[in-house]
Structure 1
Amino acid sequence: MTRVTNAVGGKRKWWGVMPVLPAPAMGGMAKQMEQVGFEGVFSLQIYGAPFVPMAAVAAMTDTLKVSTGIAVAGTRSPVETAYNAIECDTISEGRFILGLGTSLHSALEGIYGEPHRKLLTHLREVVKIVRYVNANSHKEMEPLHGEYYDLEWTEKMQTAPPLRENIPIWIAALKDKLTSMTLEIGDGLMVHALWTVNYTVQKDDFIRSELARFGRKREDIEINAWPWIAINEDKQQAIEDSRATVAGYAGYKEYEDFFDSIGFGDLARDCQLAAGEHGDVSGVIDKVSDDMVQAFVKCGPIDEVLEQIEPFWGVVDSLCPMTPYRNLSMEQLTRYNEGLFAMVAEAKRREG
């Protein structure tokens, strides 16, 4: 049997997304994921910080890695983010990965009431501070001064040594500038769900050339992709169920140039929603064609979907398949989530 590998010749790693549920339900899902062979699990920041659910999952599992996927960098002090990471790493006994992202100006300012910032400059500063606190909070600390934070450590007490002084930091990216910065400073790159299979394959040369520019090897960073997947023997039904999710993302004007770059600019402009309308995409769902849905969501039976996502493995180390989620009932979400588990179990079986 030919050994199947990821882009760096290692084992293919699978991650999942954990919804916030009562602890027994989260624990049951997490233990099932361990049994299936998942590498780890992410918790999203929809509004609340994602550290608490990952601490809960860590306490109920033995081998599953836990990560914030993502913690929005601009909604809390980077010092607090650093200590959240240290505590989650302690609780998980070294299984924690800090996933960070920028989010959008419209969300940071319009939802959280945060001031306007240069998002990449701010994120770079956050990563620097988090790493400094992680490595030095149990030692004497020198003042840090940046564009957004002046940290004198007034009244700062030394804390116990962290379990690890260098907790991995993965950064989520969509466009080239943030992707490049991630390849420079990150331990992992989480590519946006809008990175289609074809787009991801096309970006492989960019990833490798940027790493070389920063004096890094491909093995120095983990590339993790988040494809939307809708497992359903009725492929057309899967397409219908996925349409609202694609419409929602197409509705953000901030993503317009990205959709232009992959050939869906006109359809995305048809889907654009005014500020405050993103909670309801019902008025633009019919603007999304079947072809557009299938570019972003791999739909159909397990065998067909595994074939469709196979090219990812030439570029990435790990995959975190997600279900479509907009306008779906809890019953539908549960069924599609069960499909993901069955798909990963089949993939693991084939990998041996």
Structure 2
Amino acid sequence: MKIYTTAPFEDPRQARTLYPDLEQIGYDGVFSFEAKHDPFLPLAVAAEHTRTLRLGTGIAIAFARNPMNLANLGYDLQSISGGRFVLGLGSQVKPHIEKRFSSVWTHPAERMREIVLAIKAIWNCWEGRAELDFRGRFYTHTLMIPAFNPGPNPFGPPPILTGGFGPLMTAVAGEVADGFIAHPFNTRRSLLENTLPALERGLAKSGRQRADIEVIAATLVVTADTAEAFAAAKLAARKQLAFYGSTPAYRPTLAAHGWDDIHMELNRLSKAGRWEEMTHLIDDEVLHEIAVVGEPHTIATKLQARLEGIADGVSLTHNRCPDPGHWASVVRELRR
């Protein structure tokens, strides 16, 4: 199993030191996350300060950009990194796309499918395999002149991974992407009952097999070396899961365990702005089903049990309480 994480930094200048530290710890790859900062620029810096680390966006918001823009970014970072780049794309949700990015939100799964196909068509043109003639429902790319054609990438085009949660977006990954990043608001049961069947439907549509794509499961990790830090990590995880659980799109994970009532109450409280009360609805049973929780020396075994037969890689994550040591002991145990 490959080991990934999301770089927990507030200052993009930290890329000069953070990514080399993560490489030294033993991660196979590190993702950047699109929140307060652009997800691509830190990776260009990180590429100059690392040697073996896979560098990916996990995720870049696809609908805030267009296929040509994404094709250029992916192609250039693949070259700068010496073939270590992964283009991870996600959709975000409608209010952010329309109100934060002033972009278009329609038919998200179909649009994501088309974005991936359009990027690959552009790369095929640059690789000299075909003329650029992509005509879709949402995007059209039919013009490429020599002055704007970078030519074949010395390392080949990077893989495209898409992130998602619902069955339609998950199926898109199986149909057209090179891999899938599973959302951390999942349990082993929801991955087996909801995610993998949707992925298989997409694979069947394109005539591919499970071995043809890479599945990376972002997994919420709750651990610490001291009782005080452990309690803080658990509280932060409860808050994060309460926020996820209040969103209708994420209801299927709770429904898989018969916890629909928890979703309904979380949703009601969120609309009333009663965020602190929401946290108490994430009891130990819910916390331990969704997150991997325990003392540091137990986490590797629990991760393996959670993802065996499901994922090719795990991405250790805890957005609200990132580990300052970057789970070094967990990585060591997973390697062992």
Give yes or no for TM over 0.5.
yes
Residue in 2 aligned with 1:108? 97
CA 1:275/1:263 → structure 2, altered by over 3 Å: closer, same or farther? Answer: closer
Q: C-alpha displacement at 1:172, in angstroms?
A: 0.8
Q: Is structure 2 residue 291 aligned with structure 1 residue 297?
A: yes
Q: C-alpha displacement at 1:170, in angstroms?
A: 0.6
Q: What is the distance in 2 between the residues matched to 1:49 and 1:107?
A: 15
Q: Is structure 2 residue 269 aligned with structure 1 residue 269?
A: no
- Give 1:160's match in structure 2, choosing from 150, 153, 156: 150
Q: Is structure 2 residue 173 aligned with structure 1 residue 178?
A: no
Q: Is structure 2 residue 22 aligned with structure 1 residue 27?
A: no
CA contact (8 A) 1:135 1:165 kept: no
CA 1:257/1:107 → structure 2, altered by over 3 Å: closer, same or farther? Answer: farther
- Give 2:183's match in structure 1, choosing from 187, 192, 212: 192
Q: What is the distance in 2 between the residues matched to 1:232 and 1:84?
A: 37
CA 1:205/1:150 → structure 2, altered by over 3 Å: closer, same or farther? Answer: closer
CA contact (8 A) 1:323 1:337 kept: no
Residue in 2 aligned with 1:260? 255
Residue in 2 aligned with 1:245? 240
> Structure 2 length normalisation: TM-score?
0.87
Q: Is structure 2 residue 62 aligned with structure 1 residue 73?
A: yes
Residue in 2 aligned with 1:84? 73
Q: What is the distance in 2 between the residues matched to 1:149 and 1:298?
A: 41
Residue in 2 aligned with 1:221? 213
CA 1:65/1:155 → structure 2, altered by over 3 Å: closer, same or farther? Answer: same
Which range moved further: 268-277 or 95-104?
Answer: 268-277
CA 1:208/1:124 → structure 2, altered by over 3 Å: closer, same or farther? Answer: closer
CA 1:345/1:133 → structure 2, altered by over 3 Å: closer, same or farther? Answer: same
**Deviations for 1:304-347, whole angstroms, at most 9, x for unmatched residues?**
2223222203221111010241xx5xxxx4xx242622211222
CA RMSD of aligned residues (A): 2.7
**Deviations for 1:89-147, whole angstroms, at most 9, x for unmatched residues?**
11101100110111211221232222231101111111111111122136584343221
1:199 match: secondary structure: helix
Gaps of 5+ in 1: 1-11
- Give 1:341's match in structure 2, choosing from 319, 328, 334: 328
**Deviations for 1:254-307, whole angstroms, at most 9, x for unmatched residues?**
3234432343322122222799998x9335222322222222222221232223
Letter in 1 for 2:293: C
Q: What is the distance in 2 between the residues matched to 1:37 and 1:74?
A: 33
Residue in 2 aligned with 1:150? 140
Gaps of 5+ in 2: none
CA 1:299/1:208 → structure 2, altered by over 3 Å: closer, same or farther? Answer: same
Residue in 1 aligned with 2:304? 310
CA contact (8 A) 1:224 1:319 kept: yes
CA 1:264/1:56 → structure 2, altered by over 3 Å: closer, same or farther? Answer: farther
CA 1:137/1:95 → structure 2, altered by over 3 Å: closer, same or farther? Answer: same
Q: What is the distance in 1 between the residues matched to 2:131 and 2:204?
A: 33
Q: What is the distance in 1 between the residues matched to 2:146 and 2:109?
A: 28
1:81 match: secondary structure: helix
CA 1:318/1:29 → structure 2, altered by over 3 Å: closer, same or farther? Answer: same
CA contact (8 A) 2:190 2:252 kept: no
Q: What is the distance in 2 between the residues matched to 1:337 and 1:308?
A: 21
Q: What is the distance in 1 between the residues matched to 2:253 and 2:115?
A: 25
Q: What is the distance in 1 between the residues matched to 2:49 and 2:208?
A: 36
**Deviations for 1:185-222, whole angstroms, at most 9, x for unmatched residues?**
11111111112133334458624575355322222111
Q: C-alpha displacement at 1:245, in angstroms?
A: 0.8
Letter in 1 for 2:244: Y
**Deviations for 1:229-273, whole angstroms, at most 9, x for unmatched residues?**
011253555422311111111122332344323433221222227
Which range moved further: 126-135 or 238-247?
Answer: 238-247
1:321-340 to 2 correspondences below 5 Å: 321-325=316-320, 333=322, 336-338=323-325, 340=327
- Quote the sequence identity (%): 22
CA 1:294/1:157 → structure 2, altered by over 3 Å: closer, same or farther? Answer: same
Q: What is the distance in 1 between the residues matched to 2:270 and 2:242?
A: 15
2:147 match: secondary structure: coil
Which range moved further: 22-31 or 238-247?
Answer: 22-31
Q: What is the distance in 1 between the residues matched to 2:232 and 2:86?
A: 36
Letter in 1 for 2:240: T
**Deviations for 1:45-69, whole angstroms, at most 9, x for unmatched residues?**
1254311111111111011010010
